[in-house]
Amino acid sequence: MNTSGRNRVGFIGTALLLLNLLCFTACEEDEVMNPVIDSAAGELPLLNGDNKIGMIIGFNPSNPAATNDSIQARWQEALEAGMSVGRLQIDWTELEPAPNTYDKKALEERLIDYHNQNLQTFLLISAYDSEGPVIPADLQRLSFDDPILINRFRSLMDWVIPMLVQYGGYLISISNEPDNAFNDEPQLPQQILRFLKDVKSHIHGINDQMAVTVTIAEGSLDDGRLGIPEIINECDVACWNFYGSKFQFFDPYYSAQTENEIKSDIQRMLAVSGEKKMVIQELGMYSGNTTLDGSEEIQRNFFEVFFREMEQQERIKAAYNFQLVDWSPEVTEQYVEAFEEEGIPQEFIGQLSESLETVGLINYSDGRSKSAWNEFIFWVEEMD
């Protein structure tokens, strides 16, 4: 049930902005757009049904024995409740370890695993991730819209897409939160857009029902980052990462949202997405209450509010909980090391660490289910 190629998440993508001296530059408002469905793939024809709820397990390379037992039990519980979609995340470099040399088994084994569990797959190959490009070493010096780089990714798609369709896949995202860097790299939005246009056209030439998207952080809408509407307009479906907290540049850095704020953000995503269908790639909320303002009840309430809204919105086709199990202290420490080296305030690092170590629906240390787990299962049964 491996769900990720490496330890990275969009959840703390906005935190990376602190590496730019905790400064914020306001941007002009984006051009008003109303993205419309402009392809057969935009209707998500390969997805069987609506209101699908799934999850990923997590990023820990190992867990305590009791936690592993709980992971297996909770996953089976979700399947029995009707969970019918899965999400796989794998790096381009895992699939192409050397130029034009492919490790097809690395993807096929995971797709087969999900297919055997009757899970339809949403695949993420984030060629550009929240932390920067994730591309083969020999392409590192190229701009993201360089024809050489694009053609190499197209060659990757030549075998990835038929395999994805064969095992019940319905959607592929080719970039995860590139918008985190849009303010700092003014040329990047157009590079991502050209990459998306070319790759989407190529994928539709292989199978015109396979939907192609780029995943955007909902929090980027607060910053008015340029280029987002144009990218969503080009995607087959709008894809978002959405969390029940907001990030700000002073202590406290994270704050839990109210029910009305959650609903307002959902409506904002729908509005920016225009007429396009929506998929939530990452849906999550911390439960920590030491340095954070969270609790298990606040976490549970976030899922209740979101899923009640999702039930009323036929355009939200699928949403994936991020994630089943909390981050381990060891994995969290590895992640925050870069912030410590840059001299980022310890108050921020403490809040970031607690958010990661409490974002799961079960505890890392003993596998105990939080109240949000029962909420999650209720809605899987209700909608799937």
| The amino acid at 219 | G
The confidence score (pLDDT) of residue 16 equals: 54
> In which residue ranges of the chain is pLDDT below 50?
1-10, 14, 17-31
The confidence score (pLDDT) of residue 225 equals: 85
The confidence score (pLDDT) of residue 149 equals: 98
The confidence score (pLDDT) of residue 341 equals: 86
d(CA 337, CA 339): 5
Q: Residues near 80 by Cβ (< 8 Å), separated by ≥ 6?
A: none
d(CA 331, CA 155): 34
d(CA 352, CA 343): 14
d(CA 11, CA 22): 18
Nearest CA among 102, 71, 70 for reference residue 2: 71
The confidence score (pLDDT) of residue 359 equals: 98
Question: pTM higher than 0.95, yes or no?
Answer: no
CB atoms within 10 A of CB 217: 27
| The amino acid at 66 | A
Burial of 118 (0-12, 13-18, 19+ CB in 10 A): middle
Maximum Cα–Cα distance across the chain: 52
Instruction: State the CATH architecture for 13-383.
Output: Alpha-Beta Barrel (3.20)
| The amino acid at 279 | V
Residue whose entry in the numeric block shows the structure tokens 């999550």: 284
DSSP 358: T
CB atoms within 10 A of CB 214: 27
The full set of domain ranges for the chain reads: 13-383
